[in-house]
Amino acid sequence: MTTSPPEKQLLHLVFGGELASLETNRFRNLEALDIVGIFPDYATAYEAWKAKAQSTVDNAAMRYYIVHLHRLLDPDNDTAAD
């Protein structure tokens, strides 16, 4: 029986909140940030981001972001395949 090495995890965090101003990325209230979750790859993170962004389209000050956690966890081994 052969085993393949485990697939590399490219973790991504999706979060958002209401901005203090539309000209900055500064949040109005850090305690009210919406932590959507941590996802195993960019594709699933993007789907979660898109759903949250679309659900808050009526509030122009709401912004959601995707953070490439794998780049923070292993900056020397960055990959463009995310």
Q: What is the DSSP string of 1-50?
A: ---PPPPPP--EEEEEEEBS-TTS--BS-GGG-EEEEEESSHHHHHHHHH
The answer to whether residue 33 scores a pLDDT higher than 90 is yes
pLDDT tens by residue, 37-56:
999 999 999 999 999 999 99
Q: Which domains does the chain have, with CATH numbers?
A: 12-77 (3.30.70.2400)
The answer to whether residue 30 scores a pLDDT higher than 80 is yes
The pLDDT value recorded for residue 73 is: 84
The pLDDT value recorded for residue 6 is: 61
